[in-house]
């Protein structure tokens, strides 16, 4: 009989990798949190007293910032005043032990402290240095301050978001998030390259370039087509029906049709008026778009007698793609997350909170989902480890 092998603790892809993060706000913390979830040790340097200023963005999560608990789980917090001369030897000892150094300081700040890539690679040739900035180094905007909303404006995103009457910002920090994700993937690529060459690399990401990459469709549309895409709110500009529709209980549904076959299914299963499929006003998508106001009036009259759940059921029965227009509170109880067991408990200084697993599921392992640190929580332990 074969003796069962002793159980071994689960390994994660970045186990054994150490990251030093001189970071604040969202972009860099979001990138380094991905690394922590994959098993890397992430040491976050914070200013004594105040720490990462994202800690003070709000106090909605049991007295803690919703931004901070989201972007900083699984990290160790080291309170270190970099303006004091004695801090630089500590930083040097940390960098000797690190694989990755990530920073999103104000333009020029890292160079003034000797923490730019050219200075660091002489001492630490295997170190991967990731720099996140608003506009990138070089060019007339390299020293310009950049915040998420400003980059949404500069990239053109705001110009294509909103209604015909008014543009609108995106409701999340999308410029920070896009930059953070490119930094994360760039660091992973650099780690793979170091495995081939034995040498570190510089990874540079600018918020403007990250978000403008995501804007490529409207940029191409505008540059080569001669006009920008029309802001259409929650209505599709070239397909009908497609967009937001309100049920009789006041709750909204988003649904859309892709072809005339689906239009016939929609008339039969949802409107329960199969003959309407051949109505000369609506028999093709071009006609439905041209007569959108008349069509919407018919839909509103039909939906007024239905609850949102009844409308969703009819749409499902007709094979029409749909989703409820969910409020944030409704997302917490989304049945798909519950069925797939995507929620995990994460410890914070003020008690446990719920957090979603990262979207990329790796077979045979699970994200670390470590604790959110208190300011300076690991300072003594890290200094002792360094010999202080």
Residues involved in catalysis: 236
Pairing outcome for strands 343-346 and 353-356: antiparallel
Q: Which helix (H) or strand (E) segment is 53 a member of?
A: none
* Burial per residue of 108-129, b for 16 or more beta-carbon CB atoms within 10 angstroms, e otherwise: eebeebebbbeebbeebeebbb
Q: Match 């543009």 to its residue by tokens.
A: 167
CA-CA distance, 223 to 62, in Å (whole number)? 48
- Quickly count: other Cβ atoms within 10 Å of residue 29's Cβ: 26
Give alpha helix (H) positions in 226-377: 260-269, 285-290, 292-303, 308-317, 328-332, 335-339
Residue 375 near residue 55, CB atoms below 8 Å: yes
User: What does the angle CA 209 – CA 214 – CA 220 come to, to the nearest 5 degrees?
Assistant: 100
Tokens at 151, concatenated: 């980059």
**Three-state SS sequence of 63-131:** CECHHHHHHCCCEEEEECCCCCCCHHHHHHHHHHHCCEEEECCCCCHHHHCCCCHHHHHHHCCCCEEEE
The DSSP secondary structure of 121-182, one letter per residue, reads HHH-TT-EEEEEESS-SSSTTTTS---HHHHHHHTTTGGGSB-SS-B---SS-HHHHHHHHH
Torsion sign (Cα): 9, 14, 18, 22: negative
Pairing outcome for strands 128-133 and 343-346: unpaired
Tokens at 290, concatenated: 């041209």
DSSP SS3 for 241: coil
Tokens at 196, concatenated: 């081939």
């Amino acid at each position: 009989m074969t003796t069962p092998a002793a159980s071994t603790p689960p390994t994660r892809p970045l186990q054994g990798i150490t990251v030093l993060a001189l970071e604040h706000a969202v972009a860099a913390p979001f990138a380094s949190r991905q690394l922590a979830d994959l098993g890397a040790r992430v040491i976050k340097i914070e200013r004594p007293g105040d720490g990462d200023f994202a800690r003070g963005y709000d106090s909605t999560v049991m007295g803690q910032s919703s931004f901070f608990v989201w972007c900083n789980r699984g990290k160790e917090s080291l309170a270190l005043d970099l303006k004091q001369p004695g801090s630089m030897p500590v930083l040097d000892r940390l960098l000797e032990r690190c694989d990755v150094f990530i920073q999103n300081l104000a333009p020029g700040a890292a160079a003034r402290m000797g923490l730019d890539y050219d200075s660091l690679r002489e001492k630490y040739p295997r170190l991967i240095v990731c720099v996140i900035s608003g506009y990138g180094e070089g060019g007339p905007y390299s020293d310009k301050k950049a915040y998420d909303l400003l980059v949404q404006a500069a990239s053109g995103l705001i110009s294509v978001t909103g209604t015909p009457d008014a543009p609108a910002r995106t409701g999340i920090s999308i410029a920070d998030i896009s930059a953070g994700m490119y930094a994360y993937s760039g660091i992973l690529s650099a780690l793979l390259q170091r495995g081939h060459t034995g040498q570190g690399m510089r990874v540079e990401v600018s918020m403007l370039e990250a978000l403008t990459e995501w804007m490529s469709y409207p940029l191409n549309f505008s540059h080569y087509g001669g006009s920008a895409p029309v802001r259409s709110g929650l209505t599709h500009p070239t397909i009908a029906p497609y967009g937001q529709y309100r049920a009789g209980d006041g709750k909204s549904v988003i649904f859309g049709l892709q072809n005339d076959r689906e239009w016939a299914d929609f008339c039969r299963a949802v409107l329960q008026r199969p003959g309407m499929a051949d109505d000369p006003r609506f028999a093709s998508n071009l006609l439905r778009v041209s007569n959108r106001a008349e069509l919407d009036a018919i839909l509103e009259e039909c939906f007024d007698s239905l609850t949102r759940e009844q409308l969703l059921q009819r749409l499902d029965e007709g094979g029409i793609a749909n989703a409820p227009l969910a409020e944030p509170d409704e997302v917490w109880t989304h049945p798909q997350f519950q069925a797939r067991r995507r929620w995990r408990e994460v410890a914070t200084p003020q008690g446990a909170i719920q957090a979603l697993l990262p979207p990329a599921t790796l077979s045979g392992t699970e994200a670390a989902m470590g604790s959110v640190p208190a300011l300076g929580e690991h300072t003594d332990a890290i200094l002792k480890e360094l010999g202080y």
